[in-house]
Amino acid sequence: MAAGKLEEVRQYLRQQPVMLALLAVLAVIFFTAVTGLSRAYQAQRNALGSRWFSRGVVDLRAQRFEGAVTEFRSALLYSRDNYDYQLNLAEALIGLKRTGEAATYLVNLWDRQPEDGLVNLELARIAVQKGQTEQAQRYYHNAIYAAWPADQEGKRRDARLELIEFLLSTNARAQAQAELIALEENLGGDPSQQERVGDLFLRVQDYEHALGAYRLSLKAERDNGAALAGAGLAAFQLGRYPQAQRYLQAAVAQNAGNALIADRLTVTNLVLGMDPFRRQIPVAQRHKIVVEAFATAGKRLQECGAARGGALPTATQTSLASSWTKMKPRITEGELRVNPDLVESAMDLVFEIERETSASCGMPSGADAALLLIAKLHEGS
């Protein structure tokens, strides 16, 4: 009896490893099956999310923002923390001008990836809308120095251009100029971009850099009317009238209907024709110019007094009128030939009259405007 019991125990012990092995195999099979089902389920969720996301991207590009918002929200149901889904949803919300909701997503994304250029750019735009100047500048700078993908390097330039436009809108001209100089250093030779930068330099009144940008643009497109006009305006402001004349003449030939360019060309021609101190002009022509300029200044002084509505002339105007009247008999071509030193004395008085009358009676036009510019041209000489 005892021997039989012992045999049963031995047989049970021999079967135990087999049963454990079978159970282990079953456990592995069950775990594999569960894992496979879980992966299949997750793959299906990812596929559904991706499908909704793709539809949203199509609608976003087509500016169908309502549909895009719905589709991106549907995509997020299957992948709640997906970075791209949230970013595109924020852009769609911005398209609907629901910037408050968009900002919530963008701030969350910024916390996750503060170096993301697009997130910073969108946050900068929202800050601009809210009038948050410091935040806007900070986010714009983050976007400019962010790590953009190789195929989106243009976004870095666009971010700086947006920042410049924003700075100009807030009258922060010096900051805008600094940003423009930094932009120019990395711009390359693209003629359209150089033309745009030239326009911006004109707006910050940095005429030297503006002229340089327009000239780079014209190297690639010699007949670009807009760049010719810009170069002419920049050269005009710099007092480089022969250069301005060449550019403005070419610009007028391209677009005769531009009133500003035509006016600047007229004034430029007057300056070049009325400046007696230009090199290589005949002596007789110089004397004739001085006589005409002296008469023009006298007429301007008289008209300025009449325009003041009977008000008494200032002490300066009275003194200038007396000096003009006293000098007038001597300002003839014959007298100037005999006494060349009168050229400088006569023109000094002309320049004084033009400066005084522009201050008391407003900026002149025509020949008087040209004389005022010539006076500025020869200040300190």
Burial 330-349 (b: 16+ CB within 10 A, else e): ebeeeebeeeeebbeebbeb
Interatomic CA distance for residues 376 and 350, integer angstroms: 12
pTM: 0.79
pLDDT band at 150 (very low <50, low <70, confident <90, very high): confident
Q: Are the CB atoms for 212 and 234 separated by under 8 Å?
A: no
Cβ-based neighbours of 40, under 8 Å, separated by 6 or more = none
pLDDT of residue 352: 95
Pick the more confident residue, 15 or 102.
102
pLDDT of residue 358: 93
Question: What pLDDT digit, counting tens, does each position of 312-324 carry?
Answer: 577 888 899 999 9
Question: What pLDDT digit, counting tens, does each position of 152-209 carry?
Answer: 878 899 999 999 999 999 999 999 999 999 998 888 778 999 999 999 999 999 999 9
Domain segments of the chain as ranges: 187-274, 283-377
User: Which residue's structure tokens are 């969108």?
Assistant: 122
Interatomic CA distance for residues 225 and 208, integer angstroms: 19
Interatomic CA distance for residues 149 and 153, integer angstroms: 7
Calculate mean pLDDT across residues 267-273: 96
Which of 77, 75, 121, 115 minimizes the C-alpha distance to 102? Answer: 121
Domain covering 187-274 assigned CATH 4.10.1240.10 in the classification: no
pLDDT of residue 49: 81
Mean pLDDT of the chain: 88
Interatomic CA distance for residues 14 and 213, integer angstroms: 93
Identity at 58, one-letter amino acid code: V
pLDDT band at 78 (very low <50, low <70, confident <90, very high): confident
pLDDT of residue 316: 86
User: Which residue's structure tokens are 């454990």?
Assistant: 20
Instruction: With a cut of 80, say whether residue 380 has pLDDT above it.
Output: no
